[in-house]
Amino acid sequence: MHYLWDWNELAHLWNENEFHEVHDWLNQRWATLVKDRVGGDKDPDARFLQGLAFAALALYFTQNGNQESAAIFIDDALMILPKYAPSHFGIRVEPVLETLHTLRPVISLLAPDDECPFQPFVYNRLIIDHSTINA
């Protein structure tokens, strides 16, 4: 089944620091894949979307003073996303992984409700390579 999703919309939300909306965008598409595909939530494309959603939640939580949740979601994303490098659905995975790998050791030194460790918070942009989109 072929899905025509607007990956530029996702990149725009990500790059504008709208991580709650990024999560919602990804969750809607994840739910579609889980419903439509035989593998359900084990489907490789669904797992990729879930990994990106975990990364988005980590970035959202770290910016909102919830470092404990941010660390959990970074760990979850890091268990999933490396399997999809260098890219999946045309999304470059390495920049996302680089951000998570930079953030994780810093968060581990913080109290659960500390402020974001980086001010201003700078993270890698979500890059879409339209020549490799395989959705």
Q: How confident is the model at residue 118, as a pLDDT?
A: 83
> Which pLDDT band, with edges at 50, 70 and 90, does 36 fall under?
very high
Distance CA 74, CA 59 (A): 8
Q: Are 33 and 88 a contacting pair, CB within 8 Å?
A: no
Q: What is 43-54 written as a DSSP string?
A: SHHHHHHHHHHH
Q: How confident is the model at residue 132, as a pLDDT?
A: 67
Strand-pairing partners, residue 88, are: 91
Distance CA 36, CA 5 (A): 15
Q: What angle do CA 78, 84, 85 make, to 5 degrees?
A: 90
Task: Reply yes or no on whether the pLDDT at 133 is more than 80.
Answer: no
Q: pLDDT digits over 71-123, tens only?
A: 999 999 999 999 999 999 999 999 999 999 999 999 999 999 999 888 778 89
Q: How confident is the model at residue 2, as a pLDDT?
A: 53
Residue extents of the structural domains in the chain? 7-132
Q: What is 64-88 written as a DSSP string?
A: TT-HHHHHHHHHHHHHHGGGG-SEE
Q: What is the mean pLDDT of the chain?
A: 92
- CATH 3.40.50.720, applies to 7-132: no
